[in-house]
Amino acid sequence: MRKINISFDAIPIIADKITGIGWCEIGQTQAVAKLFPDNNYEYTFFTSGKKSRIEKARTFAGNNINLNYSVFSGYLYRGLSAFLPVPYSLFFGKKSDITHFFNYIVPPFVHGKKIVTVHDMVYKTFPDTVRGRTRFMLESGLKKSMKRADIIITDSEFSRTEIIKYFPEYSAKIRVVPCGVDCEKFRPCTDPDIIKNVKKNLGIDGDYFLYVGTIEPRKNLKRLVRAYKILTRHIQNPPKLVIAGGKGWLYGDFFRLVEKLSLEKLVIFTEYVPTESMPPLISGAMAFVFPSLYEGFGLPPLEAMACGVPVLTSAEASLPEVTGDCAVICDAYSVKSIAESMYRLYKNTELRKYLSIKGIERASNFTWEKSAEKLYAIYRELLHEK
């Protein structure tokens, strides 16, 4: 088999704060480059003159992926290319056989074959939960992007059906490649001292329920905190509710609700959690709570299951596809249902033990290696190679 020149658009991984999209790209690209080393790989990105972006990309690239960057402003390029067909190849050349864009948008005039990952259709299904500028970008650019793409990747069967619902003309282009979890990193932490130190550093004492993710409307955190308030009325010394996530869109409303419900001493907001502290933080939780309204995949519950922590999640979107029968499922739109599910996990030690074992087994089916194998098969399919 001949060598393939594969470029990965690195915008999601050089961001100041890496979101789920960025971690998905990191997991897939690192695994592809490791499993199939006989190709040429590169991260392409605009630096806007910031050396920190080069260093960040180099950290994730390791020895298997090269860097191909332009000092031009990526923000300016995206703004210009939305209205003028400024060639992407003008900045990154014409060596690539395939360029994979992981964040919805394919710019004009990319050399070679083009792949785009469209993670979900939340901007269509729940437009009020999406930041205005993001919604504008997708409304104005996604259809053109999918037309330019030779293949559209998405994270779940649920998201595939969602894309087809809104863009049926592109159904033949869509392929499903589930995300994965690093089971070497996310695994049960068996050293109580490590967990104790992480809790101390984050200002957590005693038992706690844990949510990890961005603080934004579609994560359903207002209903979660109202459900937690109900729980505190039925338990004398309730576990804390720890919210470990970056501030997203409209986060201020959530903080005000916590104050209104007089939960300031029981709901703990961690600021930045170092990557190495996340597995012990998850492992120390009584349960992981994630009653989201909409997820294209839902990586945090999978990471929690890999750590052997029982998971509470909703029956919405792709979440049942990811968690299977290895989680307590609640009605995302019912505060009462969320509260009852939290109480059930709190009271039932045997259930927590059972879900811990089942969760580890379930997570082992979603690895970055398996994800990379499916992705690489699509690369070969695109070039009509076996």
pLDDT digits (tens, 9 = 90+) for 55-73: 999 999 999 999 999 999 9
Whether 138 shows a pLDDT value over 70: the answer reads: yes
Grade residue 248 by pLDDT with cuts at 50, 70 and 90: low
Q: With pLDDT > 90 as the criterion, what percentage of the chain qualifies?
A: 84
Distance CA 273, CA 287 (A): 18
Distance CA 226, CA 377 (A): 46
Q: Are 154 and 118 in contact (CB under 8 A)?
A: yes
Distance CA 4, CA 11 (A): 22
Within a 13 Å sphere around the CA of 191, how many CA atoms are in the beta-carbon half? 7
Q: With pLDDT > 70 as the criterion, what percentage of the chain qualifies?
A: 98
Q: What is the pLDDT of residue 227?
A: 98
Task: Dump pLDDT digits (tens) for 185-224.
Answer: 999 999 999 999 999 999 999 999 999 988 888 899 999 9
Q: What is the pTM of this model?
A: 0.92
Whether 274 shows a pLDDT value over 90: the answer reads: no
State the average pLDDT over residues 340-351.
98
> Would you state the structure tokens that stand for residue 236, as one six-digit string?
């004398």
> Would you state the structure tokens that stand for residue 194, as one six-digit string?
């490590």
Distance CA 68, CA 203 (A): 42
In residues, how long is the chain? 386
Minimal CA–CA distance to 74: which of 32, 121, 30, 16?
Answer: 16
